[in-house]
Each structure stands twice: as C-alpha cells, then as structure tokens.
C-alpha cells in the first residue's frame, strides 16, 4: 500500500529470479530509463546493470535478473545514468511467488477426495495448498485451503464430472508483504474417482450409450415388423397364388428309384399296367333270350309244340333288354332307378343313362 509498492511491482520467482516492473509511460513519459541492482551490503557495493529489459513499444518497463540474496537494492536512472529517478531497498524473500505444486495426486474414497503434492525444498511453513473444484453444472469455483501439502474435501456426487485445479499460496503478512500464489496446476477432470480427458468425454460416453441402446431397440423393432409383414405376405401368397405340388412327392419312385429318368420309369411301369389289365377280364355273358329265339326257330321247322308256360311278347322283350344291360356292364356296377329311368353307376362314379 506504500508509494513505492504502487510505483513498482516486485516478484521473486521461487528464490530463483527477480522481476521488477514500473509504469514507464506514467512515471517517465517520453524517456527510456536505465535500471541497476545489487545484493551487496556495507561499504563495498557493486551495482549491476539490468541483463534483460522488458520492453513496451521500445520503452523499458521492467528488468529480469537472477536472485542472489535476501536483501535487494534497486535504482532507476535516466537514459545516460547521470540522474537517479527512483531507488528502493527491500527483502527479496517477502516477494516470493511460489512455483506450481509438483506431483499432484488425487485419492478418492466414496464421496471424499484428498489432494496432495510434493513438499517444496524451502519455507514449507509459509505455504498453503489451495484446491478449487466445480462440476459441469456449476458456474463458480468452490475453494478449500489447507496447510502444505495436503487438502481434503468431501460431498462429491459420483454421477457428476468435476474440474479440479490446485496451487500454492504464500502466507501474508508472516512470510510475504504481497499476496502471491503460484500458477494453477493443469486442470484435471474426475468422475466417481475416474480420471477423464475432459468432462465432455463423460457426457459423450453417456450419450453414446443412449445412442447405442436406441439403435438396438430400433433394430429389434424393425425385425419384429419385418417378421409380421413376412407372415402376412405368406398368408396372402397362399390365398392368391396357391402352391403347386412338387411332382417328386407324387411320383416318388420316378425321382427316388430312377433319378427322374421318365423313359426308364415308364418302361418298368408298363408291364405292371398290362398285367393289371390282363387280370381284369369281363365275364362271358350268355343271353338266354337269343338262345330261346334260336330254339323257337328250330321248333318251327319241326312243327308246332305246346308250351306249358306262355309269356307275353312284351315281357320277353323287357327281359331281353335287361339281360343285354347286365351283360354290357360289370357285376360291380350298381343300377339305380329314378322317375322311371334306370341309371347305371360304375366304380369311377360316372353316371351312365
């Protein structure tokens, strides 16, 4: 809060390098100043020029040099060094900016996480470890600070992905006069104790799982619909286009015994047919009426004879026709009478009038 602190910014990078900057345009307009420093004390002081200037549009606004001791004296002069414009003596250890934590580890146990890092080589008591985290659905960071070099926090939701980052801080006012913290360690992404490349990967993995399930259900539904359509089509096909019987089942011996050779099959089948036709012979039919006529002719020649049984000529004719029909048809046929007509029905169910 002093005037010197406002005019200059002093940073000691982990006891290794010093960086001094000033508001060049505000403090020294239109003038390029020179810078020198020393870590010596007593009567024999040796001033060293700035080895590396920090430039802003060709104007010096800072200097970067090695840290050589706890006590530092700086001097800003005009361009040729003849006039001192600003000087300051300070303790370099009160302006330390620590390095980022090294070898950071995360230990998960249910909803609790413990974050640890390696202890620095110097001034561990002046350091604290700060942990910040937030979920994918949080806008602001949550912060937790503990002594170096371990911090513990609980209450994490296993179903959420969290961003984590850690840094080291110097204690004020016991160790530093300025609140300096290290740069943040690289962010890490955790979900239920599992390290991820990013929280988007967790969302992508969940979305990919949902997509796979949806595709699987769609395939199953499509297969079901196709099965139903196939059954419907088969029924329609049977009703519209009935199936043609396969001849190999009707003529099994043609295909099984003769391999479809029709000539060979018919040659071996014909004798059986002929044999069947030969076995079936119609019985001889003797028409007694004709014999009776021949006897009558013979009797006329010999002379009239008395017949004890005399029938009418009409009865004889009817009997003759019946006898003829009986001789023309096999014995197995059946004669049916309907409305005065005689109908002959054979074994093949053909109707003969």
From the number of C-beta atoms within 10 Å of its C-beta (0-12, 13-18, 19+), residue 199 rates as buried
Residue 2 has pLDDT above 50, yes or no: no
pLDDT of residue 79: 85
Residue 317 has pLDDT above 70, yes or no: no
Candidates 76, 101, 102; CA nearest to 87 is 76
pLDDT mean across residues, the chain: 76
What Cα–Cα distance (Å) separates residue 120 from each residue in 128, 131, 146, 345?
A: 11, 17, 15, 123
For the domain 8-97, what is the CATH code? 2.60.40.10
Residue 137 has pLDDT above 80, yes or no: yes
Supply 110's token pair: 């249910």
pLDDT of residue 150: 93
pLDDT of residue 31: 81
Q: How far does Cα 152 stand from its chain's mean position?
A: 38
Mean pLDDT on 93-118? 93
Supply 63's token pair: 């200097």
Mean pLDDT on 268-275? 57
Share of the chain above pLDDT 90, in %: 33
Tokens 């047919």 belong to residue:
273
Q: What is the pTM of this model?
A: 0.54
Please state, in angstroms and rounded to a whole number, the distance separating the CA atoms of residues 313 and 37. 171
Residue 341 has pLDDT above 70, yes or no: no
pLDDT of residue 91: 92
pLDDT of residue 94: 93
- Please check whether the domain covering 105-196 is classified as CATH 2.60.40.10: yes
Do 166 and 149 meet the contact criterion of CB atoms below 8 Å apart?
A: no
What's phi and psi for 262, nearest 5 deg?
Answer: -65, -40
Do 152 and 116 meet the contact criterion of CB atoms below 8 Å apart?
A: no
At 213-269, the pLDDT tens digits run: 888 889 999 888 988 888 877 777 777 766 666 655 556 666 677 676 767 777 776
At 285-304, the pLDDT tens digits run: 444 444 455 555 554 544 44
Predicted confidence band of residue 307 (pLDDT cuts 50, 70, 90): very low
């Amino acid at each position: 809060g002093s005037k010197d602190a406002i005019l200059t910014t002093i940073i000691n990078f982990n006891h290794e390098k010093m960086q001094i900057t000033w508001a060049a345009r505000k403090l020294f307009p239109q003038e390029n100043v020179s810078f020198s420093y020393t870590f010596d004390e007593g009567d024999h002081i040796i001033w060293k020029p700035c080895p590396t200037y920090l430039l802003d549009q060709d104007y010096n606004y800072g200097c970067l040099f090695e840290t050589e001791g706890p006590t530092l004296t700086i001097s800003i002069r005009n361009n040729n060094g003849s006039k001192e414009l600003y000087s300051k003596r300070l303790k370099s250890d009160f302006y330390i900016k620590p390095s980022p934590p090294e070898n950071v580890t995360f230990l998960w146990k249910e909803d609790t996480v413990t974050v640890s890092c390696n202890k620095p080589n110097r001034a561990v008591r002046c350091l604290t470890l700060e942990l910040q985290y937030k979920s994918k659905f949080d806008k602001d960071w949550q912060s937790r600070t503990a002594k170096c070099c371990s911090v513990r926090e609980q209450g994490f939701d296993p179903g959420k992905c969290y961003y984590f980052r850690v840094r080291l801080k110097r204690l004020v006012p016991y160790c530093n006069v300025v609140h300096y913290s290290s740069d943040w360690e690289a962010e890490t992404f955790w979900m239920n104790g599992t390290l991820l490349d990013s929280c988007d990967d967790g969302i992508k993995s969940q979305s990919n799982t949902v997509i796979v399930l949806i595709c699987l259900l769609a395939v199953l539904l499509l297969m079901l619909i196709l099965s139903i359509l196939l059954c419907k089509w088969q029924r329609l096909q049977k009703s519209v286009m009935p199936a043609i019987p396969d001849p190999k089942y009707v003529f099994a011996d043609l295909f099984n015994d003769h391999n479809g050779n029709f000539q060979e099959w018919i040659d071996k089948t014909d004798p059986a047919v002929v044999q069947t036709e030969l076995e079936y012979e119609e019985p001889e039919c003797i028409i007694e009426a004709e014999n009776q006529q021949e006897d009558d002719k013979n009797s006329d020649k010999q002379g009239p004879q008395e017949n004890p049984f005399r029938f009418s000529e009409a009865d004889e004719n009817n009997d003759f026709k019946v006898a003829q029909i009986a001789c023309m048809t096999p014995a197995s046929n059946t004669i049916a009478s309907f409305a005065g007509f005689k109908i002959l029905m054979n074994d093949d169910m053909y109707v003969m009038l």
